[in-house]
Every structure is written in C-alpha cells, then in structure tokens.
Amino acid sequence: MCDFVRSIPQFLGDMDWIAIAPVVIGTWMAIIATMALGTWKRQIKAKKRIDFIDELTDTIHTFILSMSDPIEYLKYAKIGIDCHADYYGEFADIKNPEAVAFIKKQGKSTRQNIQRCLETTRPILSKMRTLEAKGQIFGIEGYSKCQNACRMLGWSYDQIEAFSFIIGDTNLNWKNPKVQKTLDSILSIDPENIRSNLAEQNSNFLLFAKQAYSEILK
C-alpha cells in the first residue's frame, strides 16, 4: 500500500498533461453545457406554463366582465315575466301563463337584446374553452380545478343562451308537456345565481393559479 502511495507522484509526473488537458477541459465543458441545457429547458417549460396561466387569467377576467350585460337583460326579462302575472288573458288555461304572455309580446325583442350581448361574449368564451383544453398538455398539478372552473363559467353562458332561445320562440305549442317542461327549466334560471356562480368560479380559478405559480416557481 505504501509503495502504491509513493508511486502516485511518479505516475502523475509521467502523464502527458498537455495532451490530457484538452480532454479534461472538454469533458468538464460538456458537463457544464449539459447542466446549462437542462436549466434552460426547465426555464423555458416554466415560462410557457406561466404565460399560459397569465393568458387564461386575462381571458377569464374579460369573460366575466362581458357577462354583465347578458345577466342584466336576463334580469329585466324575469321582471317582465313577473309583471304579466295579473293579466295573461287568453293564456289563462296554460301552465306558466305569465311567461307565455310575455313571450308573445316581448319575446323576440328580448331574445335579440340578449343575443346582441352574447355576440360580444361568444368569442371570449370560445378562447377560454380552447385554452382550457390546451392547458392539459402542460401537466400542471391540480389542473382539474382549473377545468372545473372554466366549465362552470361556460355553463353560466349556456344558461342565458338557452333562456334567450326559448323566450324568443313565439310559435311553440304551449300546451305540450315537453314544451312546458323546457319552459319550467328556463324560468328557474336566476340572474343572481349566475352572478354568484361567476364569482365562485373566479375565486376557484384564482386559487388554482396561485398554487400553480407557487409550484412552477419554487
């Protein structure tokens, strides 16, 4: 063992360091480059995730703001229906006579007003749904929370759109049980519940975004 230790200096002295140095330096540089490449890839991946969350956050915020007018027109329509509760004339023998009376008088104009507002919201909703689907490729932890929030936000839009379609159709057979069931369904749509849902889903999404940022940047 002692002989081996004593031979180390001689062994090192006999090595051609001029020839070896480039190899050692090249290997070390390759290791550094590999480490730098790995860091760069992680940074790029993190940036793409952050950019995605930023874009989706802006889109959701814009969507919620754009829902204000459709909700207001829904509210006015519900008030209008309630105002027909005492004079529905020829529709007295029909279920939901006040709604039918309102539809006959103001259904088409109400639908036009709601649809005009929804036209502004529609492309924003489409973008939100596209981003929600795209986001699955990033593998962000807890992404299902984001998906649920986006889908429930879209559900609020779908409710108002369904209301406008039925409220604007003046030629339905109002005595038909299926028509009455559909009418019951759209009359249950409440503007305040929609507002509450938008606020709740916005809160759920922001909680997801905060957790995602923390995970990405740690």
d(C-alpha 19, C-alpha 16), whole Å: 6
Which residues of the chain fall short of a pLDDT of 50? 4-5, 8, 11-12, 17, 28, 30, 33, 36-38, 40
Beta strands in the chain (DSSP E): none
Are the C-beta atoms of 71 and 118 separated by less than 8 Å? no
d(C-alpha 125, C-alpha 55), whole Å: 13
The distance of Cα 178 from the centroid of its chain, to the nearest Å, equals 33
CATH top-level class for 46-217?
Answer: mainly alpha
| pLDDT of res. 7 | 52
| pLDDT of res. 18 | 58
| pLDDT of res. 40 | 43
Burial of 94 (C-beta count, 10 Å sphere; 0-12/13-18/19+): middle
Question: Which tens digit of pLDDT belongs to each residue from 32-82?
Answer: 545 544 454 556 677 888 999 999 999 999 999 999 999 999 999 999 998
| pLDDT of res. 106 | 92
SS3 at position 15: coil
d(C-alpha 190, C-alpha 89), whole Å: 26
Q: Which residue has the tokens 């249950």?
A: 188
SS3 at position 173: coil
Domain boundaries, the chain: 2-35, 46-217
Q: Cα torsion at 189, 193, 199, 200 (round to 10°)?
A: -100
d(C-alpha 107, C-alpha 141), whole Å: 46
| pLDDT of res. 47 | 86
